[in-house]
């Protein structure tokens, strides 16, 4: 059998054409097959984030998305078997119009049909491609109804990742994030009623030493108020100040890695959920480890 020729330069060119950079993924989605329904971020004004700063935001039509998926399947070839689940990119894809999301999920079902079922009778794909996840902000209006979330869940949306960041209104203003912490509980409640798994992303180190106690207390209180269960997750991302970002130009005394880790431990210690598997696990989300 002839040896397979590996051309890394050609593969890199194909990857860039398909993705133009992956941006960022949640820590438990690094092996997911990324399918980009959007490029860039619909908000893109957070003071601490530079992942999409130089990207023009656009949404792929259903037909363009279909061709995108076909190109990815052809490019990955046998390497597709390494992937588990599907992540619908890029930033904030779960906030798109209902018709756009349903069209994308229908395309995914068509391209990756579920030919067997599990013991409960639910359709399954050998690579878990029946499970689609995506980022979702907490402030896009109008808010989706429980009925709409049910439609999305039945179409294949299995879980969402919420960029909550902090329970402190002052900290959110510093981060350049609109909305209010009180809206998070309403959103999570609707998602849980619809059967969607919820992954809450918060940050440690927000506001530096000046706001440390306020941020920890407000964030822990917000988390404890959410109706999270064993299938959900809390991801704690320690602040990495991006050079040149608006956040980096504040007059704060930024926390170093040790101080951020101590704050992470304090937030975890303040959680009042049942231990997993009855309650949500709280895990570290280190963006410096991201590789796709």
Residues 117-157 pLDDT 10s: 888 888 899 999 999 999 999 998 878 999 999 999 999 99
What is the tens place of the pLDDT at every residue in 216-274?
A: 999 999 999 999 999 999 999 999 998 889 999 999 999 999 999 999 999 999 999 99
| pLDDT for res 2 | 53
Assign 3-class secondary structure to the chain. Answer: CCCCCCCHHHHHHHHHHHHCCCCCCCHHHCCCEEEECEECCCCCCCCCCCCCCCCCCEECCHHHHHHHHHHHHHHHHHHHHHCCCEEEECCCHHHCCHHHHHHHHHHHHHHCCCCEECCCCCEECCCCCCCEEEEECCCCCCCCCHHHHHHHHHHCEEEEEEEEECCCHHHHHHHCCCCCCHHHHHHHHHHHHCCCEEEEEEEECCCCCCCHHHHHHHHHHHHHHCCCCCCCEEEEEECCCCCCCCHHHCCCCCCCHHHHHHHHHHHHHCCCCCCCCCCCEEEEECHHHCCC
Across the chain, mean pLDDT equals 94
Condensed to tens digits (0 to 9), the pLDDT of residues 165-190 reads 999 999 999 999 998 898 999 999 99
pLDDT grade for 1, boundaries at 50, 70 and 90? very low
Question: For residue 54, what pLDDT band results from cuts at 50, 70 and 90?
Answer: confident
Specify the pLDDT at position 158: 98
Q: Answer yes or no: is pLDDT of 292 > 80.
A: no
pLDDT of residue 4: 64
Question: What's the rounded mean pLDDT across residues 23-40?
Answer: 94
Tell me the domains of the chain and their CATH numbers.
Answer: 26-289 (3.20.20.70)
């Amino acid at each position: 059998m002839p040896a397979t020729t590996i051309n890394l330069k050609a593969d890199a060119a194909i990857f860039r054409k398909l993705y133009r950079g992956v941006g960022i993924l949640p820590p438990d989605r690094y092996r997911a097959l990324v399918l980009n329904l959007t490029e860039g971020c619909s908000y893109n004004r957070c003071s601490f984030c530079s992942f999409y700063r130089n990207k023009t935001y656009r949404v792929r039509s259903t037909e363009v998305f279909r061709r995108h998926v076909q190109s990815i399947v052809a490019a990955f070839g046998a390497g597709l078997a390494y992937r588990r689940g599907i992540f619908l990119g890029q930033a904030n894809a779960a906030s798109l119009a209902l018709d756009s999301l349903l069209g994308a999920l229908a395309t995914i079902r068509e391209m990756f049909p579920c030919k067997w079922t599990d013991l409960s009778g639910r359709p399954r794909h050998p690579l878990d491609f029946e499970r689609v996840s995506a980022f979702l902000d907490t402030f896009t209006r109008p808010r989706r109804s429980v009925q709409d979330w049910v439609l999305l869940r039945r179409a294949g949306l299995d879980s969402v990742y919420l960029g909550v960041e902090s329970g402190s209104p002052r900290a959110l203003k510093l981060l350049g994030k609109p909305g209010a912490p009180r809206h998070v509980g309403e959103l999570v409640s609707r998602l849980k009623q619809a059967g969607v798994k919820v992954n809450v992303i918060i940050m440690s180190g927000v506001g530096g030493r000046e706001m440390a106690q306020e941020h920890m207390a407000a964030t822990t209180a917000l988390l404890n108020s959410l109706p999270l269960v064993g299938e959900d997750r809390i991801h704690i991302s320690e602040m990495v100040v991006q050079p040149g970002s608006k956040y980096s130009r504040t007059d704060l005394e930024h926390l170093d890695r040790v101080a951020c880790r101590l704050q992470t431990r304090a937030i975890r210690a303040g959680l009042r959920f049942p231990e997993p598997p009855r309650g949500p696990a709280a895990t570290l989300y280190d963006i410096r480890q991201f590789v796709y």
